Amino acid sequence: MGGVHLIVGVCLLTLRLHSTHSLKEKRSVIKRLVARMQNQLNVSVAEVDAHDIWGKAVIALSTVSLSEEVIRGIFQQAETLTEQVPGVELIDVSVSLL
């Protein structure tokens, strides 16, 4: 790519869902959060673990940029969006830059 140094960022958010009591409720909460992140942050987002546990979710986000600071800023915004959801507790964040 002619000297362009792209950085790929991957962020895993582990969530505890206090207000869900069924997988159907969990899917509803996660679906809204994923859509909000996609629309507001322009990132790729997917639920990647704990699919059958209604009180827990693991969401992965990824983005590409020329700047590590931009990626970290986007992931910080994702954390903020997550913390704004009633009944959702952010219990772990893992960021990898490639």
Summarize pLDDT for 10-48 with one digit per residue, the tens: 999 999 999 899 999 999 999 999 999 999 999 999 999
Q: Which residues of 77-92 are buried (b: 16+ CB within 10 A; e: fewer)?
A: ebeebbeebeebebee
Distance CA 8, CA 54 (A): 30
CATH number at residue 52: 3.30.70.1120
* Domain carrying residue 51: 7-97
Confidence tier at 87 by pLDDT (50, 70, 90): very high
pLDDT digits (tens, 9 = 90+) for 42-70: 999 999 998 899 999 999 999 999 999 99
What pLDDT is attached to residue 38?
95
The arithmetic mean of pLDDT across residues 61-86, rounded, is 97
Three-state DSSP state, 26: helix
| Count of structural domains, the chain | 1
In a domain, 1, yes or no: no
| pTM of the complete model | 0.90
**Residue at 94: amino acid letter:** S
Q: Which backbone phi and psi does 92 adopt, to 5 degrees?
A: -160, 145
